[in-house]
A and B are shown apart, each in its own frame.
Chain A
């Protein structure tokens, strides 16, 4: 077909769109996934049928778990072309169709993990997933979507962190070796608190007021988890063998730096008390009195916590004061006016009575 020059020019412009291509990383990773998926089909055709395989799978897990719901979930994953759906769920965000499946799969993984240490690590991984989701919230297109996603992610994050706390506490109560795990939780939870704080600034400014409280609570839960894990780690140091002084020193040093960073710009006499405790901790650390240094850090943290609590109380009181409206003031004035008038009446009545007498 003979084309006009103007048509040829238009077609040339259309061909510029060839430059739009998928991301190389995605292309490569999906290729690998695709091949692994299609190879399963090729294998399944020759060996046992999918149904037979699934039956054996369900039976072995049911005996161990006595939880048919989990088995059903895992079977669902298998029948839904497993890896593709699982991978798609992994990248899903609150509000996506696959997000509930993502959470359900995380729970299923915990259920079928028997080693307590690995269970706790899995919980840490899932809390980290919440942080990754939080980082991506800023990419959501509308402030409403961002707000809703923040609510879901921070709520799940607090649940995950609470589970980690309870888990380590249980292990500690049962006198199981917990130092290594507590050390990881201390570091990881502190890092997650920092990430939450850093990423909140990327959210749409129009929603900051609505989501601030939820984010603050999530940050606090991570910091509390870190503090609890630190205490448990130090207690374990006293009780467990084969824990090196260097490891504990490093934990204490990291904590010292964290607290110094926290109070550096605070002008308050209690901040001076914290600094004093920090100096004590440093001195004891240099003497290799690790228990002593940790005790000083505990006290420093208590002072910081009380400062934070007082600040919260102050903010709440200010909020209450601002709720007193002009109407209330007028009512007080009215009441005073009425009271004055009543007193004046009483005086007049008394005078009359005296005259009558």
Chain B
């Protein structure tokens, strides 16, 4: 993430003092990422919206507790998102990500849709989404966090409750498997 860590720390400090505007800034910085992270787990835009909303509300409630100690907002938000998805699966008895939905229909802005249809990247997007959906959740999660959301290994370790070493190994393994899937599909 490109936003300076100082800016985030300042925002966090203001939020912990109960500043709603600071939290609104955090929302703007993170909403797309949290939504995306959840979306790749639940594969449904309405559910992703609901869960993303829940993440921001829960995070606020946590941050304004006097006893809360947060050093890393990135990790907190993704951890909360992950927990919300786990609870969601438990309550709804649902399986995890199902492949196959039309990617382009999820990109709501019609102008974006048209543009993507017109350029090759649109087709590539659909392909990569299909490929990534074939991975098991653990691998998919780590690739999204590391390469899409650009979290550090330490941050990912906090989110996934693993060691940084395990994250390194897993991300390497996940990338290899994804590469194999892509190569296999290109050979067909």
Contact = CB atoms under 8 A, between A and B. Distances in A.
Interface string A16-54: 111111111011001100110111011001000000000
A270 B184 CA distance: 70
Given A22-B31, A34-B57, A42-B20, A17 B148 contact: yes
A266 interface: no
A22 B107 contact: no
Contact of B107 (A14, A21, A34): A21
Interface residues of A, number: 33
B52 A41 contact: no
Interface in B101-139: 103, 106-109, 112, 116, 121, 124-125, 127-129, 131-132
Nearest to A40: B20
Contact of B49 (A23, A35, A42): A23
Contact of B50 (A17, A24, A88): A88
B24 A41 contact: no
Contact of A21 (B24, B36, B61): B36
Interface string B19-62: 11101100110011001100110000110111011001100110
A79 interface: no
A114 to B, nearest CB: 33
Contacts of B27: 31, 34
The A interface is mostly helix, strand or loop, or mixed, namely: helix
A250 interface: no
Contact of B60 (A7, A19, A20, A38): A38
Contacts of B109: 24
A23 to B, nearest CB: 4
Contact of A17 (B52, B125, B179): B125
A17 B24 contact: no
B103 A10 contact: no
Contacts of A267: none
A16 B132 CA distance: 12
A264 interface: no
Contacts of A17: 36, 40, 125, 128-129, 132, 144, 148
Given A13-B128, A24-B108, A18 B148 contact: yes
Interface residues of B toward A: which range?
35 or more
A35 B24 contact: yes
A45 B18 contact: yes
Contacts of B143: 14
A84 interface: yes
A19 B20 contact: no
Contacts of B50: 88
B151 interface: no
A357 interface: no
Max chain A C-beta neighbours (<10 A), residue from B40, B48, B129, B147: B147
B18 A6 contact: no
Contacts of B57: 34, 37, 81, 84
A16 B19 CA distance: 35
Given A10-B178, A16-B121, A19-B112, A34 B49 contact: no
Contacts of A34: 23-24, 27, 53, 56-57, 60
A11 interface: yes
Given A10-B179, A45-B18, 10 more contacts: A17-B40, A19-B121, A20-B129, A22-B49, A22-B52, A31-B27, A31-B31, A34-B57, A35-B23, A81-B57
22 contacts: A10-B179, A13-B124, A13-B182, A14-B128, A17-B128, A17-B129, A19-B125, A22-B35, A22-B48, A22-B52, A30-B53, A31-B24, A34-B24, A34-B56, A35-B20, A35-B24, A37-B60, A39-B20, A41-B18, A42-B19, A81-B57, A97-B91
Interface of A: 6-7, 10-11, 13-24, 26-27, 30-31, 34-35, 37-39, 41-42, 45, 81, 84, 88, 91, 97
Nearest 8 pairs of A and B residues by beta carbon: A23-B108, A22-B35, A38-B20, A14-B147, A13-B128, A16-B125, A10-B179, A11-B147
